Amino acid sequence: MGAVSWANDLPELGDVAQTVLSPLQEQAIAEQILRDVAVSDDVVQDIEVTAYLQALGTRLVAHSPDNQLKFNFFVVQDSSINAFAMPGGVVGVHTGLILAASSESELASVLGHEIGHVTQHHLARMLAAQKNDTFKNIAGIALALLVARANPQLASGALTTASAVGVQSQLDYTREHEREADRIGLQILDTGGFDVRGMPAFFTTLQRGTRFAEGGAPSFLRTHPLTSERIADVDNRVALMPYRQVPDSVDFQYVRAKLLAIKDVPDMTIAVFEQNIRERRYSNEAAEHYGLAVAYMRKSAQKDYLTKAEKEIAWLKNNAPSHAMIENLSARLQVVNNNPQQAAKQYASALKLYPDNRALIYGYAEHFLAIKQPDNAVKLVKEKQSLYPYDAYFYDLLAQAYAMQNKTLLSHQAQGEAYFRKYDLIHAIEQMDIANKANDGDFYQASIVEARLKELRRMQGEVKK
């Protein structure tokens, strides 16, 4: 395929300058949303799941019309089939959608579609067109709509302000928006190396959505109307594109198995995995054994289930290619078995194979904290931190470790940096102020904290303007 023409056959949506929020406004909205995401009980905080989705999304963004825009992808713990994009490159995907996708290309087609909405500033255009008096109102509506799009049944409760209620009905994507996002999504899929048939295949999944979602059509259709014209348009375009058979990545298979394993009560998921293995009903046998091991681990209070989990992990190590998620599960089993020496050995050997895997780094650091070895936790996190300088949890771990060492300045400094990376400037300043008043740091440490506190306060002043 030659050079991609993103404007080819796309509808004209008007003068961008008159209808789109500024990049700074979009960024501010995104940061408000991400601040809520960081502490939400409805958001999946499992690093293996979130890292997979972020990696898949980042791969697709690289082939989008605006590949310089920073995107943040996160997973919502919700069984409905839904995904949504917000201004500033914030994209949420429900666990129900990941589980409903029958291939990685189907999941990628949804992400490509949502990326198209963001790069074309569809929701930003609609928000900006509401003629709100202040940017704060726009941001507030965006935050309310985050809840509304994630859980449409909660929309009336979330949209409490008069202005928000007034615009809800006007902020569902139009047919033109959907067609534009579909076409951009198809081009992203094609140039990103996925099977473009994943998009019409996902449409089929949506059309039979009553099998997956209670109360009729999937949530995705309430904000992304699927018309016969839209289906025909995508079918016609796919028919003209080259055939490409793309196998699912092992990461996709394992993440889906993990989400399935934690979806329902353990006994139900155990029965499903055991039956699939017994009847050889699977696309990836290793993923079934992995999911079964995760499900067994959920019943770790019963010793016989830990033994069963151990057998599944042994099967994986003997029959499946090496994978970081298998190694991490093996180490966690030793932790649950209260075998700290074996757990440390497993984490150390696994990190030699996968030195940049965050799940392993997190797990090893948490293990050191659990066995009261904060020095080793600090050493490990410091060694790996440069790989992920924007990861808040590395700083959370450091804060815990320094607190164990009774290092007040360093502990509150680290906690402040963690809050900063969660877009929570107020609490970041509070923690840095406590660190600044601590008297247990040396001159060099105190100078760094003082300078950082001034910088954060300057940022706060700019935000308030």
User: So what's the pLDDT on residue 18?
Assistant: 42
User: So what's the pLDDT on residue 143?
Assistant: 56
**What is the distance between the alpha carbons of residues 141 and 405, in angstroms, rounded to a whole number?**
44
Note the residue count of the chain.
465
* pLDDT at residue 14 greater than cutoff 80: no
User: So what's the pLDDT on residue 114?
Assistant: 92
> 82 falls in which pLDDT band (50, 70, 90)?
confident
> 16 falls in which pLDDT band (50, 70, 90)?
very low
pLDDT digits (tens, 9 = 90+) for 283-307: 999 999 999 999 999 998 888 999 9
What is the chain's mean pLDDT, rounded? 85
- Print the SS3 string covering the chain: CCCCCCCCCCCCCCCHHHHCCCHHHHHHHHHHHHHHHHHCCCECCCHHHHHHHHHHHHHHHCCCCCCCCCCEEEEECCCCCCEEEECCCEEEEEHHHHHHCCCHHHHHHHHHHHHHHHHCCHHHHHHHCCCCCCHHHHHHHHHHHHHHHHCHHHHHHHCCCHHHHHHHCCCCCCHHHHHHHHHHHHHHHHHCCCCCCHHHHHHHHHHCHHHCCCCCCCHHHHHCCCCHHHHHHHHHHHHCCCCCCCCCCHHHHHHHHHHHHCCCCHHHHHHHHHHHHHCCCCCCHHHHHHHHHHHHHCCCCCHHHHHHHHHHHHHHHHHCCCCHHHHHHHHHHHHHCCCHHHHHHHHHHHHHHCCCCHHHHHHHHHHHHHCCCHHHHHHHHHHHHHHCCCCHHHHHHHHHHHHHCCCHHHHHHHHHHHHHHCCCHHHHHHHHHHHHHCCCCCHHHHHHHHHHHHHHHHHHHHHHC
Burial of 385 per CB tally in 10 Å (0-12, 13-18, 19+): middle
**What is the distance between the alpha carbons of residues 64 and 142, in angstroms, rounded to a whole number?**
23
User: So what's the pLDDT on residue 395?
Assistant: 98
* pLDDT at residue 80 greater than cutoff 90: no
pLDDT digits (tens, 9 = 90+) for 421-435: 999 999 999 999 999
pLDDT digits (tens, 9 = 90+) for 186-195: 999 999 999 9
User: So what's the pLDDT on residue 206?
Assistant: 82
**What is the distance between the alpha carbons of residues 253 and 80, in angstroms, rounded to a whole number?**
20
Instruction: Find the mean pLDDT for residues 263-290.
Output: 95
Q: Choose among 354, 351, 356, 353: nearest CA to 368.
A: 351
Residues 149, 117 contacting (CB under 8 angstroms): no
User: So what's the pLDDT on residue 2?
Assistant: 36
Instruction: Find the mean pLDDT for residues 364-378.
Output: 98
pLDDT digits (tens, 9 = 90+) for 118-177: 898 877 777 666 655 445 555 555 555 555 555 555 444 433 443 444 444 445 667 788
User: So what's the pLDDT on residue 20?
Assistant: 64
Lowest mean pLDDT, pick from 217-231, 323-337, 347-361: 217-231
**What is the distance between the alpha carbons of residues 118 and 124, in angstroms, rounded to a whole number?**
8
User: So what's the pLDDT on residue 358?
Assistant: 98
User: So what's the pLDDT on residue 27?
Assistant: 84
User: So what's the pLDDT on residue 223?
Assistant: 67
Q: Choose among 50, 59, 107: nearest CA to 83.
A: 107
Angle at Cα 230 formed by Cα 2 and Cα 143, nearest 5°?
Answer: 95
Percent of the chain with pLDDT over 70: 82
Residues 326, 313 contacting (CB under 8 angstroms): yes
User: So what's the pLDDT on residue 101?
Assistant: 95
* pLDDT at residue 312 greater than cutoff 90: yes
Pair of tokens at residue 28:
């501010």
Burial of 234 per CB tally in 10 Å (0-12, 13-18, 19+): buried
> 331 falls in which pLDDT band (50, 70, 90)?
very high
